[in-house]
Structure 1
Amino acid sequence: MRTDGSRRPTKQHSTTPELRRAVTRLPEEATAAGRAREFTTSALKAWEVPADLREDIVLAASELVTNAVEHGHGEVTVVLRQNGDRLLLRVWDEDVRVPAPRPVQRGPVRGNGLVIVDALSESWGYEAAADGKWVWAEFAVRC
């Protein structure tokens, strides 16, 4: 596992059994980020994740899916997994290029996706594969 975030990644493999998991696949198209927001909101509401944290996770999902559509190719997969007080958001795309945050853009609204994910999450990173990559962000869940 590698990370380009400023914080060290937390342990991804827990000895606690997986409590909750939700998965969706999205086509590579402009509507994917909106569909990811709807999917994430629905799952997190059902899991009773507090509204303020839910908004952060939904925004992070939207940013990661937007990056997957704009900079990757192929079908996009979104996975939400909650193990106890940890929630992991993972987004798959079929591009092997690894994500790299750009310097913060003050003027344009676009181009700050990974900076936003870094600010919202406890940690983030990526896992490269021969046929694509997972980009992930982890959150502490307060119940």
Structure 2
Amino acid sequence: MEQARADWVLASDARSVTRARTLIAQRLIGLPDESVEVVLLLVSELVTNAVRHGSGPVGLHVAWGNGTVRVEVHDQSPEWPVVRAVDRDALDGRGLILVDGLATGWGVMAGKPGKTVWFTAKA
């Protein structure tokens, strides 16, 4: 099966997290529910990070097929995300821990300007 792709540009606004989830869910129809739920959770985490810690509009790209989903989230901040240890009572700070634990792979690529954080998941 050939890979399908979709791209969007979202505002750097908290409402973009819900919008990103909706856009991705509309494209991944037909994939197993468990896979889609993992992708949507990780999309939420990366878009939230881009809105909270990045700058400029948020680029969202998804490609799927051949048993894999790849999502890329771009923002214009040059600051790379860092997986950090969090106190068990902390209210936030676990996003990249979730990405690291649930994705089949993830990383960061330098962009001009900014960076792109990506992950892959089983479709």
Letter in 2 for 1:80: V
> How far does residue 18 in structure 1 lie from its aligned partner after superposition?
4.7
* Structure 1 Cα separation of the partners of residues 3 and 31 of structure 2: 13
User: Unaligned stretches of 5+ in structure 1?
Assistant: 1-16
C-alpha distance after superposition, 1:5-57 (max 9, x if no partner): xxxxxxxxxxxx85200111110111111111111111112xx1100110000
* Structure 1 residue aligned with 2:122: 140
From 21, 26, 39, the counterpart of 1:57: 39
Letter in 2 for 1:25: V
* Alignment length (residue pairs): 123
> What is the TM-score normalised by the length of structure 2?
0.93
> What is the TM-score normalised by the length of structure 1?
0.81
* Structure 2 residue aligned with 1:8: none
* Structure 2 residue aligned with 1:117: 99
> How far does residue 69 in structure 1 lie from its aligned partner after superposition?
0.4
User: Unaligned stretches of 5+ in structure 2?
Assistant: none
> How far does residue 63 in structure 1 lie from its aligned partner after superposition?
0.3
* Structure 1 residue aligned with 2:53: 71
Runs of 4+ aligned residues of structure 1 deviating over 6 Å after TM superposition are none
Q: What's the RMSD between the two structures over aligned residues?
A: 1.4
